């Protein structure tokens, strides 16, 4: 079985506080992945409290985002509308990577491949497959760039996204994680 994991497709990362055009462009591909999934899809949700700006992350990225209970924290409407694929399968994480994958997948005996997409590269969709690689060293892990939003999506500097893709692919491949472009 291929286990689909969608990373942080939340309003604040797509159209809100940290809006990302490449994440917006990835929505159709992500919806296709979800619709075709033959498993319960797992979604991560970047989750912060109202004191976010006092945290280390908030000091380094002083833009309030994904504050639990706000509209920006919610999954994007296109995904929320797929209720049968979403309900009960959202995991909250208060930093870049979710560390409790074993609570969800156990020893992953029935999983042949972890397949990930989401936003915002090179952060959470890079950290989470590396954590999965650490927990499940013998499982195939794939990141689908067609379903990812990337930092540096400045339309005046398309080379920024290409640099981000190249650097991220290098890191993922070095960790024996496959990349689909």
Q: What is the Cα–Cα distance from 141 to 139, expressed in whole angstroms?
A: 6
Closest CA to 91 of 52, 50, 56, 124: 124
**Domain count within the chain:** 1
pLDDT per position as a tens digit, 65-95? 999 999 999 999 999 888 666 656 899 999 9
CATH number at residue 134: 3.40.50.850
Name the pTM for this structure. Answer: 0.94
Q: What is the Cα–Cα distance from 27 to 35, expressed in whole angstroms?
A: 12
- In this prediction, residue 86 carries a pLDDT of 61
Q: What is the Cα–Cα distance from 17 to 143, expressed in whole angstroms?
A: 25
Strand order in the sheet with 90-93: 90-93, 42-46, 2-7, 113-121, 140-150, 178-180
CB 82, CB 109: distance < 8 Å: no
CB 26, CB 117: distance < 8 Å: yes
Crossing angle of helices 124-135 and 158-174, in 10° steps, is 10
pLDDT per position as a tens digit, 165-175? 999 999 999 99
pLDDT (mean) for 132-158: 88
Q: For the CA atoms of the chain, what is the radius of gyration?
A: 15
Structure tokens, 98: 């979710």
pLDDT (mean) for 150-175: 84
Domain of 161? 2-180
Contact partners, residue 26, CB within 8 Å, separation at least 6:
117, 119, 146, 147, 148, 149
The b/e string for 104-126 (b: 16+ C-beta within 10 A; e otherwise) is ebeebeebeebbbbbbbbbbbbb
């Amino acid at each position: 079985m291929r286990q689909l994991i969608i990373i942080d497709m939340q309003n604040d990362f797509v159209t809100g506080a940290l809006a990302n055009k490449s994440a917006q462009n990835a929505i159709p591909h992500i919806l296709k992945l979800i619709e075709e999934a033959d498993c319960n899809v797992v979604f991560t949700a970047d989750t912060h409290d109202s004191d976010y700006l006092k945290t280390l992350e908030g000091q380094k990225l002083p833009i309030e985002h994904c504050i639990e209970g706000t509209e920006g924290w919610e999954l994007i409407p296109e995904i929320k509308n797929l209720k049968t694929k979403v309900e009960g399968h959202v995991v909250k994480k208060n930093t870049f990577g979710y560390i409790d994958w074993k609570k969800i997948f156990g020893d992953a005996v029935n999983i042949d491949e972890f397949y990930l997409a989401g936003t915002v590269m090179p952060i959470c969709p890079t950290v989470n497959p590396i954590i999965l690689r650490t927990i499940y060293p013998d499982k195939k892990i794939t990141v689908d760039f067609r379903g990812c939003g990337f930092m540096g999506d400045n339309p005046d500097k398309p080379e920024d996204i290409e640099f981000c893709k190249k650097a991220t692919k290098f890191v993922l491949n070095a960790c024996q994680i496959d990349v689909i472009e």
